[in-house]
């Protein structure tokens, strides 16, 4: 029997995955007390700062003669595809549940992913050190929801270490050993990859069958890339070079290849000389960008810097999609595709922080599939690309299946609100003291302030999870926004026809609050197909501010104007008007 156990830790966000990983690293002596800092698997500074895990992180531990390969996974829905990939490399999972919170939306969706792959699931009730912990209630809820028995559970405090040794024994006992298959032709599954300037593309792999060492010439099964590894090894959690990787093991192969797209996630690596009979392992669906934004440098001259920065980031991030674009109002920029809003936020933050770029990002848009009257189809990624209405036969928008968990008393208000967001209720089921709601909901509704509103209606108690399931027809129109009589495509939106007028009015009202005053009166208008549906006017700026000074003191007046000019930093000139990032965020708030 193999001594290898491969498992993932899955949980709803903040239920303690990373803290439990830290604890396991310490107990197994993988990382010494001295080296360990809090949440050390979150290696990226943004992960550390925000307290979230973005990228899966494998680590090998030795315990009582067994080799344990653990894969820490991200909890946020944008990075849900990383969870599926981690699971493909495992025989079991620890399903962590915070006993002060109970079962949440992602507890359920992660459970279902693990169940579908036939993995052994160990439910781990965490945070039992806290006075607010309801261990018994959470256990009952899990038994009822998932059908566990009392003996299945591990009770732990990841923070204090209570119960974690027992959990380690349970892992060795309950999780099936990795199958032994060293004598078969090599097949290694690529779980994820990253880029290293010296070692090239580094593939994170699970060796499913066969063995390899750094002298073995390899090739990808989906493409044409072949290479002799620069290095092979495992994670402890840093990269630790080794002579050989064998069947059942999780580790890395530094390929020396220069393009991250040459080693696709989900691809199978095999021997360069493998016979045609070797079949690729079942791969993964490539993650599709579903949220698009246009990004413009505030200083037009910075465009080449922006291009260069995004090129660099995309080396590490195969899910990032981008193409050059030009807007009449904003100049040269990039249209960027992201997995979701959090992914977008993180990338934009890195561009500003690591590359010192001042940027304006437009409101996010989902992709729309447009069928033209002549039968041609096109996928558009921003309102600016919307063809003339007379040329459109049909529009399809992305649809999600959305899961919401909420305490009973918030269900009424939530249902009312989600109906306004075009949600179609599919099922309602009680889970313990809470209710599980399943919706069919357009993605466009989710990428605005949906999550914030969900939290505010439910006083923070509701949780959600979604998955894009396809495209469906929508009767939508473009709402054009004009500032100072000039169309600002970057502020325009695509909205369902029956909401378009209301949305246009909302945006104009919001813009009136945030568009900085100018030296002259500025009209703000919304139009649908050439007809103006809303208008507001922003009064001239200088007149107003200096009016209080009753004309007198010239130097004082100049000082005041200078002070205001300073406050106007990071403005983007649009025609004769200057706008800042708040203007573009205003479109999001409903
Ligand atoms: P993740 O999002 O699932 O990776 O969760 P983290 O490991 O980042 O933990 C979220 C928060 O819960 C952090 O502030 C942890 O310190 C805290 N936490 C995790 N486990 C425990 C525990 O057993 N007891 C207590 N009191 N706090 C915990
Ligand atoms: Mg984490």
- Burial group, residue 245, by CB count within 10 angstroms (0-12, 13-18, 19+): buried
State the virtual CA torsion across 511, 516, 520, 525 in degrees, nearest 10: -10
List, as own/partner pairs, every contact residues 410-413 make where C-beta atoms lie below 8 angstroms and the sequence separation is at least 24, other chains included: 410/457, 410/458, 410/459, 410/461, 410/462, 411/435, 411/437, 413/457
Tokens of 76: 């946020």
* CA pseudo-torsion sign 482, 485, 489, 490: negative
* Beta pairing class for 268-271 and 187-196: antiparallel
CA separation, residue 179 to residues 108, 183, 531 (Å): 28, 12, 67
DSSP 8-class letter at 408? G
The tokens describing 302, both together, are: 């910075």
- Measured from the alpha carbon of residue 129, the closest ligand is 1
Q: Which ligand is nearest to the CA of 107?
A: 1
Predicted TM-score (pTM) of the model is 0.80
DSSP alpha helix (H) spans, 4-97: 17-27, 45-50, 80-88
Q: Is 196 in the pocket of ligand 1 (CB under 6 A)?
A: no
- What is the C-alpha to C-alpha distance for residues 371 and 379, in angstroms, rounded to an integer? 9
Distance separating alpha carbons of residues 46 and 358, to the nearest angstrom = 18
pLDDT (tens place) for every residue of the chain, 590 residues total: 789 999 999 998 889 988 998 899 999 998 877 776 655 566 566 666 666 666 667 899 999 999 999 987 776 777 777 787 888 899 999 999 999 999 998 898 889 889 999 999 999 999 999 999 999 999 999 998 899 999 999 999 999 999 999 999 999 999 999 998 888 999 999 988 888 889 999 999 999 999 999 899 999 998 888 999 999 999 988 899 999 999 999 999 999 998 888 888 888 999 998 888 888 888 777 778 899 999 998 888 899 999 999 988 887 777 889 999 988 778 899 999 998 888 888 899 889 888 989 888 888 899 999 999 999 999 999 888 899 999 999 999 999 999 999 999 999 999 999 999 999 999 999 887 789 999 999 999 998 788 889 999 999 889 898 889 999 999 999 999 998 888 888 888 999 999 999 999 998 998 888 887 878 888 999 999 889 999 999 888 655 455 555 555 556 656 655 555 544 446 677 777 777 777 776 666 66
CA distance 157 to 147: 23
Q: Which of 377, 372, 380 is nearest to 323 (CA)?
A: 380
Among candidates 136, 87, 143, which has minimal Cα distance to 110? 87
Residue 483 is classified by DSSP as E
Does the CB atom of residue 53 touch ligand 1 within 6 A? yes
- How many angstroms is it from 158 CA to the middle of ligand 1? 7
Residue 368 β-bridge partners: 380
Task: Determine whether the shortest distance from the Cβ of 39 to ligand 1 is under 6 A.
Answer: yes
Q: Which residues pair with 6 in a beta bridge?
A: 69
Cis peptide before 237 (omega within 30 of 0): yes
The Cα 246–Cα 207 span in angstroms is: 6
Residue of 208, 179, 154 whose CA lies nearest to 24: 154
**Cβ(15) to ligand 1 under 6 A?**
yes
Going from the Cα of 136 to the center of ligand 2, the distance in angstroms, rounded, reads: 25
Query: What span, in angstroms and rounded, lies between the C-alpha atoms of 57 and 73?
Result: 7
155 alpha carbon, closest ligand: 1
Ligand 1 near 159 CB (within 6 A): yes
Cβ of residue 130 lying under 6 Å from some atom of ligand 1: yes
Place of tokens 């067994």: 66
CA of 74 to the centre of ligand 2 (A): 6
Q: Tokens 């690591």 label which residue?
A: 354
């Amino acid at each position: 029997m193999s001594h290898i156990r491969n498992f993932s830790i899955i949980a709803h966000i903040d239920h303690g995955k990373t803290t439990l990983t830290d604890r396991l690293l310490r107990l197994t002596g993988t990382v010494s007390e001295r080296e360990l800092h809090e949440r050390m698997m979150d290696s990226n500074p943004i992960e550390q700062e925000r307290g979230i895990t973005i990228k899966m992180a494998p680590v090998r531990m030795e315990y009582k003669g067994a080799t344990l390969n653990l894969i820490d996974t991200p909890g946020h829905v944008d990075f849900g595809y990383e969870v599926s990939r981690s699971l493909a490399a495992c025989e079991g999972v620890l399903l962590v549940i915070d006993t002060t919170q109970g079962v949440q939306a992602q507890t359920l969706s992660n459970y279902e992913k693990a169940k579908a792959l036939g993995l052994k699931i160990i439910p781990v009730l965490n945070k039992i050190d806290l006075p607010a912990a309801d261990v018994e209630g959470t256990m009952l809820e899990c038994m009822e929801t998932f059908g566990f028995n009392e003996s299945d559970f591990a009770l732990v405090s990841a923070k204090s270490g209570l119960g974690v040794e027992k959990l380690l024994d349970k892992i060795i006992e309950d999780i099936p050993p990795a199958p032994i298959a060293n004598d078969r032709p090599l097949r290694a599954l690529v779980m994820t990859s990253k880029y290293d300037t010296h070692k090239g593309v580094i593939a994170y792999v699970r060796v499913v069958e066969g063995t390899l060492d750094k002298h073995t010439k390899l090739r990808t099964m989906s493409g044409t890339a072949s290479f002799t590894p620069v290095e092979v090894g495992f994670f402890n959690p840093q990269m630790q070079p080794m002579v050989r990787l064998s069947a059942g093991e999780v580790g890395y192969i530094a390929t020396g290849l220069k393009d991250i797209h040459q080693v696709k996630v989900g691809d199978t690596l095999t021997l360069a000389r493998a016979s045609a009979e070797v079949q690729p392992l079942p791969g993964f669906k490539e993650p599709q960008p579903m949220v698009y934004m246009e990004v413009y440098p505030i200083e037009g001259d910075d465009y080449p810097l922006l291009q260069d920065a995004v090129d660099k980031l995309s080396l590490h991030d195969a899910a990032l999609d981008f193409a050059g674009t030009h807007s009449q109002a904003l100049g040269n920029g990039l249209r960027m595709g992201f997995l979701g809003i959090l992914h977008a936020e993180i990338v934009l933050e890195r561009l500003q922080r690591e590359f010192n770029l001042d940027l304006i990002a437009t409101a996010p848009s989902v992709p729309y599939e447009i069928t033209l009257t002549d039968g041609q189809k096109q996928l558009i990624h921003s309102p600016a690309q919307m063809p003339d209405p007379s040329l459109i036969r049909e529009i399809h928008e992305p649809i999600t299946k959305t899961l919401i968990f909420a305490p009973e008393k918030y269900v009424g208000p939530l249902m009312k609100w989600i109906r306004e967001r075009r949600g179609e209720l599919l099922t309602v089921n009680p889970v313990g003291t809470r209710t599980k709601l399943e919706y069919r909901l357009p993605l466009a509704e989710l990428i605005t302030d949906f999550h914030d509103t969900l939290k505010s209606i439910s006083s923070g108690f509701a949780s959600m999870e979604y998955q894009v399931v396809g495209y469906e027809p929508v009767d939508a129109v473009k709402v054009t926004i004009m500032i100072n009589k000039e169309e600002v495509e970057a502020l325009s939106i695509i909205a369902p026809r029956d909401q378009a007028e209301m949305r246009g009015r909302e945006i104009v009202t919001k813009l009136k609050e945030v568009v900085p005053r100018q030296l002259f009166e500025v009209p703000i208008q919304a139009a649908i197909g050439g007809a103006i549906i809303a208008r507001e006017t922003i009064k001239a700026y200088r007149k107003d501010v200096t009016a209080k000074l009753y004309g007198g003191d010239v130097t004082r007046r100049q000082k005041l104007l200078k002070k205001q000019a300073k406050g106007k930093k990071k403005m983007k000139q649009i025609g004769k008007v200057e706008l800042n990032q708040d203007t573009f965020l205003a479109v999001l708030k409903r």
